[in-house]
Each structure stands twice: as structure tokens, then as C-alpha cells.
């Protein structure tokens, strides 16, 4: 468990391909990756150097919807979890009539759906010009388990959250086929993609519930600040949807060289695993719910 005022420290030695805790992290900047860093294995680090502090903690309970900001969080095998409830990162996903994932690339207004974590397994959703809705996180009842799919995984088991919240989503997004599913298992059901096999320190168990790559994404404020120097219109870290935002980092893109990260007293240790591929989702203004017409910041990131 850790909070936002705890220091982040970095190994000063070469990286190790071995997990030194029960969890792993995607540790890269949101847009740059030095391939040689993740294609090697190294000894376990023994010394650590302070490189910054934890500035913000975010979970995104519903994939492609707004973040919930946390003061404290627990790191689990498949993602960041609130200390107050059982709600975790990207354990919910909106699906269409084919039970395939729906994201803000298709519906940018999903970024304006704000989940609020309640007590006793309840969550409330709100959105502009919509009444809020509260629903109970489902439990298996013998009739509500479904099989859904994301980009590449065709058989992820999940629970249907019911008609009421489905109708709310349908009305707000203007699609009568949408449903909300809940990843009820405590282990990943994801499969490794071919490019991931080139990263020797990455394992299938490092993947999250409905997240695209790993269970965690880390980003520094310095990298976002540097990117904004190259843009006509500034973006924020929200465009890249990190779980852990690091402040007080001395240079931009420093995180691409980090191999292991130790937070606080050392109980939370994360390893670099695999690059984070960026998609058109980064072009959605998270506060306005619209996609940029000029393709930024993705256009600049591709240069």
C-alpha cells in the first residue's frame, strides 16, 4: 500500500528479468521505447537511486471511461485497487452486440462517464445531461456469465452487469446494443501478442483484466511537459491514462531507462516489461469528450 507522498526510487544497477515481487508493471514513457532496454535480462538490482515522487494514482474502473483518483492504493497481480473497496483498474468493459470491447475511439464521450466507488460493492456512474445511476457489482449466479472479446482475445469470461446500467449506457452513447461486463476472476485471461514474446522479462501473468498490455502504466510529468513544447495545443497526462504519474523527475523520458521501480519502503516493486503501444485514444480530449481533428498528439509522437 502506498500514497502519493511516498518517494519513488530507481535501481542504479542493470536490470533483472526476474520478478522480484508478485506483480509486474508496464514501465515506459507513453510514447518512447528503447528496444535494447527490454530485450535484455540482467542481475537483480541491489542499489537504488531516488528519481522522483508519486504525484498521482489513477484507476479506470471501466475501460475507456474516466479515472478515479486515489490517495492510497493496493497493488495486485492484475492491477491497482482502491484501499476502501474491491474496485480495481479496468475490471469493467463496455461491449457491443458481438460482445466485443467498445472504447472511446468509437465513442469519445465515454471519457466523460465518471465512475464513483461506493460501499458494499456498489458503483455510481454519472455523465453530462444524464441522471446518475448506481448498480451493484455482480456476482456469479449461474445465469450471468458471458464470454467477451477484446482486440485479440476471443474468450474472456465476464459477468453481465444487468439491464438497468446497460440501458443507461445505451441512452448516453446512442447505441441500443451496448452492455457492461465485469471481469470477476482474480487472474488475467489475456494472451501474449507476438511482439511481447520478444521481451524476455514479460510473462502472460503480467497482464491485467481488460487492460491492453500489462496491469500497470507509469508516466512522468516531465515527459508530458516536453511533449507539450512540440504541440500547438497542450495535452495532459490524462490523454495517456497512466496508473502512476511521477513528479519531480529531472529529465523528460527518463522512465524509458528505468528497469525496476521501488516505491516507499520497498514492498511495492515494479519491473519494466513491454512497450506501451499508443493508439488514436490518445487524441481524445478527456475533459471534452471529443477527438482532435488534427490527430494530435499521436501525429507528433509518430515523428
> pLDDT tens digits for 182-203?
999 998 898 877 777 777 777 7
Mean pLDDT of 160-173: 99
Give strand ranges (E) for the chain. Answer: 2-3, 7-11, 26-27, 48-59, 68-70, 72-76, 79-82, 92-95, 114-117, 122-127, 130-136, 145-148, 156-160, 179-182, 217-220, 244-247, 260-263, 268-271, 284-285, 290-291
Q: Please name the residue ranges forming H helices in 20-124.
A: 35-38
For residue 254, pLDDT over 70 is answered with yes
Nearest of 150, 121, 163 to residue 138 by alpha carbon? 121
pLDDT band at residue 1, thresholds of 50, 70 and 90?
Answer: very low
Average the pLDDT over each of 3-17, 57-71, 152-166, 285-299 and give the range with the smallest value.
Answer: 3-17
Q: What is the structure's pLDDT at 226?
A: 92
pLDDT in tens, 108-141: 999 999 999 888 889 999 999 999 999 999 999 9
Q: What is the structure's pLDDT at 193?
A: 75
Average the pLDDT over each of 10-14, 212-216, 293-297 and give the range with the smallest value.
Answer: 10-14
The Cβ of residue 36 has, within 10 Å, a number of other Cβ atoms equal to: 7
Number of compact structural domains in the chain: 1
Mean pLDDT of 152-163: 94
User: Residues with Cβ < 8 Å from 37, sequence gap 6 or more?
Assistant: 15, 256, 257, 259, 272
For residue 3, pLDDT over 80 is answered with no
Rounded Cα distance, 242 and 29, in Å: 10
pLDDT band at residue 75, thresholds of 50, 70 and 90?
Answer: confident
Tell me the CB-side half-sphere exposure of residue 48, using CA atoms within 13 A.
Answer: 17
* Mean pLDDT of the chain, nearest integer: 82
Domain that holds residue 165: 2-301
pLDDT band at residue 22, thresholds of 50, 70 and 90?
Answer: very low
For residue 8, pLDDT over 60 is answered with no
pLDDT band at residue 162, thresholds of 50, 70 and 90?
Answer: very high
pLDDT in tens, 78-97: 888 888 888 899 999 999 99
Mean pLDDT of 21-40: 35
Average the pLDDT over each of 54-63, 81-90, 231-240 and give the range with the smallest value.
Answer: 81-90
Q: What is the structure's pLDDT at 43?
A: 56
Q: What is the structure's pLDDT at 152?
A: 80
pLDDT in tens, 264-276: 776 677 877 776 7
Query: 501478442: which residue's cell?
Result: 193
**Residues above pLDDT 70, as percent of the chain:** 84
Query: 467498445: which residue's cell?
Result: 102
pLDDT band at residue 21, thresholds of 50, 70 and 90?
Answer: very low
For residue 285, pLDDT over 70 is answered with yes
Amino acid at each position: 500500500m502506498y500514497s502519493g507522498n511516498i518517494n519513488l526510487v530507481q535501481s542504479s544497477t542493470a536490470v533483472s528479468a526476474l520478478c522480484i515481487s508478485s506483480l509486474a508493471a508496464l514501465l515506459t514513457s507513453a510514447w518512447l521505447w528503447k528496444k535494447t532496454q527490454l530485450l535484455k535480462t540482467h542481475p537483480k538490482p541491489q542499489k537504488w537511486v531516488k528519481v522522483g515522487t508519486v504525484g498521482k494514482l489513477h484507476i479506470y474502473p471501466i475501460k475507456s471511461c474516466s479515472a478515479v483518483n486515489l490517495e492510497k492504493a493496493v497493488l495486485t497481480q492484475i492491477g491497482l485497487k482502491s484501499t476502501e473497496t474491491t474496485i480495481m483498474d479496468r475490471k469493467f468493459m463496455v461491449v457491443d452486440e458481438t460482445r466485443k470491447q467498445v472504447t472511446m475511439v468509437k465513442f469519445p464521450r465515454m471519457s466523460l462517464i465518471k465512475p464513483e466507488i461506493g460501499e458494499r460493492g456498489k458503483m455510481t456512474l454519472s455523465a453530462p445531461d444524464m441522471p446518475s445511476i448506481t448498480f451493484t457489482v455482480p456476482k456469479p449466479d449461474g445465469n450471468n456469465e458471458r464470454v467477451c472479446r477484446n482486440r485479440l482475445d476471443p474468450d474472456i469470461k465476464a459477468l453481465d452487469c444487468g439491464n438497468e446500467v446497460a440501458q443507461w449506457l445505451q441512452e448516453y452513447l446512442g447505441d441500443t446494443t451496448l452492455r457492461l461486463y465485469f471481469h470477476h476472476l482474480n487472474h488475467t485471461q489475456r494472451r501474449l501478442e507476438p511482439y511481447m514474446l520478444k521481451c524476455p522479462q514479460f510473462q502472460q501473468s503480467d497482464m491485467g483484466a481488460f487492460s491492453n498490455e500489462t496491469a500497470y502504466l507509469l508516466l512522468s510529468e516531465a515527459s508530458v511537459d516536453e511533449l507539450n513544447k512540440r504541440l500547438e495545443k497542450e495535452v495532459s497526462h490524462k490523454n495517456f491514462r497512466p496508473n502512476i504519474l511521477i513528479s519531480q523527475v529531472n529529465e523528460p523520458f527518463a522512465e524509458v531507462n528505468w528497469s525496476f521501480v521501488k516505491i516507499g519502503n520497498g514492498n511495492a516493486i515494479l519491473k519494466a516489461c513491454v512497450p506501451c503501444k499508443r493508439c488514436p485514444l490518445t487524441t481524445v480530449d478527456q475533459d471534452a469528450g471529443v477527438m482532435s481533428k488534427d490527430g494530435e498528439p499521436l501525429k507528433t509522437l509518430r515523428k
